[in-house]
Amino acid sequence: MAKTIAQEFKKGLWDEIPPFRLVLGLCPVLAVTTTVENGIGMGLATTFVLVCANMLVSLLRNVIPPKIRVPCFIIIIATFVILVELLMQAFAYGLFLNLGIFIPLIVVNCVVLGRAEAFASKNKFLPSLADGLGIGIGFTLSLGVLGAVRESLGNGTLFDYPVFGPNFQPFEFMVQAPGAFVALGLLLCIMNILGKK
Amino acid sequence: MGDLIVLIISSIFINNIILAQYLGACPFVGTSKKMETAIGMAGAVVFVLTMAGTITWIINTHFLVRLDIQFLRTIAFIMVIASLVQFVEMFLKKSIPSLYAGLGIFLPLITTNCAVMGVCLLNVQNELTFLNAILTSVAYALGFGVALILFAGIRERVNLGRTPGPLKDTSIALVTAGMLAMAFVGFRGMV
């Protein structure tokens, strides 16, 4: 084993941070980041599914026949997604309503399936756990940052508190669909500039 | 009849699945580098989405609702979609090998295309009738195809020009997608 567990964890925070380094799982990134709160909520839900699915897949990796591995992974992921859906409905109903259709859609989030396929199916339990946690937290951070940019510019608030004072004219473009694409593209550009140093 | 036409037009243009509802963004960015793959992907999605929309509606109404086990919806839908994709894959491999090779990894990835799953869920959530559900699925799939092919065309042109270093590739593609989405916002006044 070349990498330590700490390294597996850390790579999710910068080297392979989704959705910037790994361009996967864009739909929830674009759709729910109209506010910071929604972004972070979505990120945490995805992290939970990612960590649980990674653990289970890595435990079962020698049992699952390679030919039908993808359907097996999807069923494992779907189970945890249903779990999250029911839990959120019970304990975070407001967030559940805000995220709406995007919670069941975690099941088709390429980040989750991608990690199960590319990492957890080939690695032992602890590295897989670290990988899931790292990528999940990276994903949450990205969603939080994008949410902060879009909410502050598009709505003039951050966590529902006004940040720019009363004379600020909200830049409505940012909270609509075109703004989502442009904001993500420009953030990616900033990441590329920072990454070069 | 008029209602149905409004439904189709609004599903293709006004509520475009990618540019207004944010579904299916991964294959939108991933397969739009070349026109040929974009057309192939669009075709595959139209086929899979139409069938998936029809079958999941039947399963939801006749099994899940009747037996009162709607909480299993996610897992039931994803199974239908996964098996359909497997079927399309085997069909293409046998009959159009060049297209199969061109689509590469993105064909199995239709399984994880949020557009397919998303439309199936939306159909059920909005409690559409059977006919409306099929028409909506087809129209959304066509909308996906239109947006993807337009975007691939623009992207081929953009790649010919000189782009500043850090903006290259995915970054400029996303900004372009934003501009395209803005154009689609213009359709809102239509209906």
How do the domains of chain B map onto residue ranges? 2-189
Please report the pLDDT score of residue A34 as a whole number.
84
Residue of B nearest to A69 (CA): B82
Q: How far is the C-alpha of A15 from the C-alpha of A83, rounded, in Å?
A: 30
Question: What's the predicted TM-score (pTM) here?
Answer: 0.85
Q: In the block, which residue shows the tokens 């996610």?
A: B74
Is pLDDT above 80 for B178?
yes
Q: Is B147 exposed, middle or buried (0-12, 13-18, 19+ CB in 10 A)?
A: buried
For all residues of chain B together, what is the average pLDDT?
85
Residue of A nearest to B126 (CA): A101
* Tokens (6 digits) for A192: 């590329």
- Interchain CB contact of B91 with A (< 8 Å): no
pLDDT band, residue B151 (cuts 50/70/90):
very high
Of B75, B172, B185, the CB nearest to A75: B75
Please report the pLDDT score of residue A1 as a whole number.
46
Query: With an 8 Å Cβ cutoff, are B177 and A181 in contact?
Result: yes
Please report the pLDDT score of residue B145 as a whole number.
92
Residue of B nearest to A30 (CA): B22
State how many domains chain A has: 1
Query: With an 8 Å Cβ cutoff, are B178 and A179 in contact?
Result: yes
pLDDT in tens, B107-139: 777 777 788 888 998 888 888 888 889 999 999
Is pLDDT above 70 for A197?
no
Please report the pLDDT score of residue B117 as a whole number.
87
Please report the pLDDT score of residue A51 as a whole number.
92
pLDDT in tens, B24-66: 888 888 888 888 888 888 888 888 888 899 999 999 988 888 8
Evaluate whether A102 touches A27 at the Cβ level (below 8 Å).
Answer: yes
Of B166, B177, B179, the CB nearest to A189: B166
pLDDT band, residue B105 (cuts 50/70/90):
low
A139 vs A4 pLDDT, higher one: A139
Cβ neighbours of residue B156 closer than 8 Å, sequence gap 6 or more: B33, B34, B35
pLDDT in tens, A137-171: 988 988 888 888 888 888 777 777 777 777 777 78
- Interchain CB contact of A108 with B (< 8 Å): yes
pLDDT band, residue B106 (cuts 50/70/90):
low
- Interchain CB contact of B185 with A (< 8 Å): yes
- Contact list in A for residue B185 (CB cut-off 8 A) is 176-178
- Interchain CB contact of A166 with B (< 8 Å): no
- Contact list in A for residue B166 (CB cut-off 8 A) is 189-190, 192-193, 196
- Contact list in B for residue A71 (CB cut-off 8 A) is 79, 82
User: In chain A, where do the E strands start and end?
Assistant: 157-158, 161-162
* Tokens (6 digits) for A116: 């199960």
- Interchain CB contact of B171 with A (< 8 Å): yes
B96 to A110, A116, A186, B49, B53: CA distances (angstroms): 26, 30, 39, 20, 25
Residue of B nearest to A70 (CA): B82
Helix B35-59 vs helix B114-125: crossing angle, to nearest 10: 30
Residue A80 structural domain: 5-196
Q: What are phi and psi of A108, to 5 degrees?
A: -105, 20
pLDDT band, residue B147 (cuts 50/70/90):
very high
Query: With an 8 Å Cβ cutoff, are A185 and B111 in contact?
Result: no
- Contact list in A for residue B122 (CB cut-off 8 A) is 101
- Distance from A110 to chain B by nearest Cα, in Å? 6
Q: What is the mean pLDDT of residues A89-106?
A: 86
pLDDT in tens, B5-35: 888 888 888 888 888 888 888 888 888 888 8
- Interchain CB contact of B155 with A (< 8 Å): no
- Contact list in B for residue A23 (CB cut-off 8 A) is 26, 29-30, 170
- Interchain CB contact of B29 with A (< 8 Å): yes
- Contact list in B for residue A26 (CB cut-off 8 A) is 25-26, 28-29
Evaluate whether B26 touches B109 at the Cβ level (below 8 Å).
Answer: yes
* Tokens (6 digits) for B55: 């079958």
- Interchain CB contact of B89 with A (< 8 Å): no
Is pLDDT above 80 for B99?
no
pLDDT in tens, A7-65: 777 777 777 777 776 667 777 888 888 888 888 999 999 999 999 999 999 998 888 88
